[in-house]
Amino acid sequence: MENVKIRSRVNGKDIESEVEPRKLLVHYIREDLGLTGTHVGCDTSNCGACTVLVDGKAVKSCTMLAVQANGREITTIEGLSRQGKLHPIQEAFLEKHGLQCGYCTSGMIMTSFWLLRKNRNPTEEEIRKNLSGNLCRCTGYQSIVDSITYASKLMKADETEKEGIMVEQ
Amino acid sequence: MNPSSFEYFAPKRIEEAFDILAKYDGEAKILAGGQSLIPLLKLRLTSIPYVVDISRIEELSYIRESHNELHIGALTTIDDIENSASIRGKYPIIFDAASNIADPLVRNRGTVGGNISHGDPSNDMPAVMLALGAKFTIASARGDRVADADGFFIDTFTTALKYGEILREITIPGRGTHEAGCYMKNKKTAGDFSVAGIAVQIRFNNSGTIEKAGIGMTSVNPKPIRAIKAENYLKGKKVGDSVVREASRLVVSESNPSTDFYGTVEFKKQVLAKIAEDAIYMATDRAEEN
């Protein structure tokens, strides 16, 4: 089968590649782009370890073809930190022990990143509902939910700080 | 797990899609959100030589109201349906189903047209469309045709869609003043398919008598079906405990579940009986609030 040329913006960088049409997005991200922070968990659309953002929406990259990402914007876990500084959600997972083995963590963080962008003050119920496509087999949900709640506070503090700087300037 | 090799096409216009389908007569398959087809390809339960990805045909994604009807483009994602204020306000039955399909990540890709045209008796939208008396606009190179949801579902994974046809739009009839509905399903774990699901839409007249009832069932028959006996029984009745119990009994009598991973026939019928009662009460409560 003929390879197909795709062009997408991955973590803010324009990338052009040639891929086999059957290649799954998660394999393209991990093997072709070397971004191994996105994990393959169940490989059957259940666990959400492979979650990335495509055009701003959290999706399971094991259930999407790389060719379907042509012309789209992809954000992976590697795209969250800024100049070596962890994203507040990552900080929060560290602070609140939001991981045990860590395998599901990048998916948990990407799904929550999507949630917190559209809802800055989610309730515990909203956080839990939003995570229903992400499985943690260490049964660490309580600390994960705590981490996301804490992240929403950190992000709010960040915003207030930025607003303060703007006022000073 | 990788699908076996295929050739890929991503037309931007529906006419292009017709041409590609015609060129590979009988051998090409339509890909929309891919949340059912990609798992099937990965598990090699099926292999397809030519995949026509229609998800870039932007004209097929919309939610519009006109002439008291609701028009939903087939490529509208389940997430967009879940977040539509007009759907949530006027057709809670559709919102209920949308917000309980799989999980939020799947709903971000999955489309309403895919959920319907896949013909999976465990998918939730077919029962909702049967209960609402929806109409489907089906496009092909020969032009559009309109089919009723009733009669569209022929067998497991088989619908009235013929090769070369693409589901274009779902049209929901206008809602009466005292009309509402609800979708309920029972599932074993978050994100799973249901043990049983039921869609109920009821229209009352001004004196609180049922004028019309629509009932569709999920996961309890080889294909999505209506509970016609229960619908007819409810017509002309007022909602009360004995009426609801009898309607629920009729719903169960029209189901035909099989024993599988999700439970025994007996268990599924008990689950169905319970959610049928709950759904009729809920639809009634909502209609009264209108």
> B57: distance to nearest CA of chain A, Å?
13
What pLDDT sits at residue B234? 98
- Distance (Å, rounded) from C-alpha A18 to C-alpha A4? 5
B155 and B215, same domain (yes or no):
no
Chain B CB contacts of A129 under 8 Å are 104
What pLDDT sits at residue A127? 98
Interface of B with A in 62-81 (CB under 8 A): 79
CATH number of A4-77: 3.10.20.30
Q: Which two tokens stand for residue B31?
A: 């890909």
> A17: distance to nearest CA of chain B, Å?
16
Query: Which residue has 């067998």 as its token pair?
Result: B155
| pLDDT tens digits for range A65-94 | 999 999 999 999 999 999 999 999 999 999
Task: Answer yes or no: are the C-beta atoms of B263 and B195 closer than 8 Å.
Answer: yes
Mean pLDDT of B56-81: 96
**Using CB atoms, which residue from B4, B8, B105 is nearest to A60?**
B105
Of B119, B151, B173, which closes a domain? B173
Chain B CB contacts of A130 under 8 Å are 104
Res A167 pLDDT > 90: no
B164 and B97, same domain (yes or no):
yes
B206 and B269, same domain (yes or no):
yes
In a domain, B1, yes or no: no
Confidence of residue A165 (pLDDT cuts 50, 70, 90): low
Res B231 pLDDT > 60: yes
Q: Which two tokens stand for residue A64?
A: 């999407």
B163 and B188, same domain (yes or no):
no
Position with higher pLDDT, A158 vs A146: A146
What pLDDT sits at residue B190? 85
What pLDDT sits at residue B157? 96
Query: B109, A46: Cβ pair inside 8 Å?
Result: no
Nearest CA in chain A to B4: A22
Residue (of B283, B112, B99) closest to B198 by Cα position: B283
Q: What is the mean pLDDT of chain A?
A: 94
What pLDDT sits at residue B82? 97
- Distance (Å, rounded) from C-alpha A121 to C-alpha B179? 34
What pLDDT sits at residue B191? 86
Res B46 pLDDT > 50: yes
CATH number of A88-161: 1.10.150.120
Question: Quick check: pTM over 0.90?
Answer: yes
| pLDDT tens digits for range B215-226 | 999 999 999 999
Nearest CA in chain A to B107: A59
Query: For B222, phi and psi rounded to 5 degrees?
Result: -60, -20
B44 and B62, same domain (yes or no):
no
**Interface residue B58 vs chain A (CB under 8 A):** no
Res A163 pLDDT > 80: no
Q: Which two tokens stand for residue A90?
A: 């990552």
* Helical spans, DSSP H, in chain B: 14-23, 37-42, 78-82, 85-90, 92-98, 104-107, 112-117, 125-132, 228-234, 241-254, 265-289
What pLDDT sits at residue A12? 97
CATH number for the domain spanning B229: value is 3.30.390.50
In a domain, B2, yes or no: no
Query: A45, B106: Cβ pair inside 8 Å?
Result: yes
- Distance (Å, rounded) from C-alpha B100 to C-alpha B107? 9
| pLDDT tens digits for range B126-173 | 999 999 999 999 999 999 999 999 999 999 999 999 999 999 999 999
CATH number for the domain spanning B15: value is 3.30.43.10
Res A50 pLDDT > 90: yes
| pLDDT tens digits for range A89-111 | 999 999 999 999 999 999 999 99
Nearest CA in chain B to A23: B2
**Using CB atoms, which residue from B4, B108, B190 is nearest to A59?**
B108
- Non-local (6+) Cβ contacts of B28 within 8 A are B9, B20, B21, B48, B49, B50, B51, B52
**Using CB atoms, which residue from B34, B51, B103 is nearest to A132?**
B103
Chain A CB contacts of B190 under 8 Å are 132
Confidence of residue B20 (pLDDT cuts 50, 70, 90): very high
Q: Which residues of A81-113 are buried (b: 16+ CB within 10 A; e: fewer)?
A: eeeeeebbbbbbbeebebbeeebbbbbbbbbbb
Chain B CB contacts of A68 under 8 Å are 10, 34, 53, 55
Chain B CB contacts of A51 under 8 Å are 105
Query: B2, A24: Cβ pair inside 8 Å?
Result: yes
Q: What is the mean pLDDT of chain B?
A: 97
Nearest CA in chain A to B40: A44
> B123: distance to nearest CA of chain A, Å?
16
Mean pLDDT of B54-71: 96
Chain B CB contacts of A63 under 8 Å are 34-35, 38-39, 106, 109
Beta strands at A13-19 and B143-148: parallel, antiparallel or unpaired: unpaired
User: In chain A, which residues fall in CATH 3.10.20.30?
Assistant: 4-77
Q: Which two tokens stand for residue B58?
A: 């932007």
In a domain, B262, yes or no: yes
Mean pLDDT of B79-99: 97
- Non-local (6+) Cβ contacts of B233 within 8 A are B246, B247, B250
Residue (of B213, B260, B275, B270) closest to B239 by Cα position: B213
Mean pLDDT of B83-107: 97
Residue (of B31, B131, B15, B132) closest to B74 by Cα position: B31
- Non-local (6+) Cβ contacts of B222 within 8 A are B121, B155, B156, B256
B189 and B126, same domain (yes or no):
no
C-alpha distances (whole Å) from B111 to each of A56, A116, A117 are 17, 24, 23
B277 and B185, same domain (yes or no):
yes
Confidence of residue A164 (pLDDT cuts 50, 70, 90): low
| Domain range enclosing B74 | 58-173
The count of domains in chain B is: 3
Query: B105, A58: Cβ pair inside 8 Å?
Result: yes
Of B140, B157, B173, which closes a domain? B173
Res A169 pLDDT > 70: no
> A74: distance to nearest CA of chain B, Å?
14
Task: Answer yes or no: are the C-beta atoms of B116 and B129 closer than 8 Å.
Answer: yes
Share of chain A above pLDDT 90, in %: 88
Res A159 pLDDT > 90: no
Mean pLDDT of B73-100: 97
In a domain, B86, yes or no: yes
What pLDDT sits at residue B182? 98
Interface probe with B: pick from A18, A53, A54, A63, most Cβ of B within 10 Å: A63
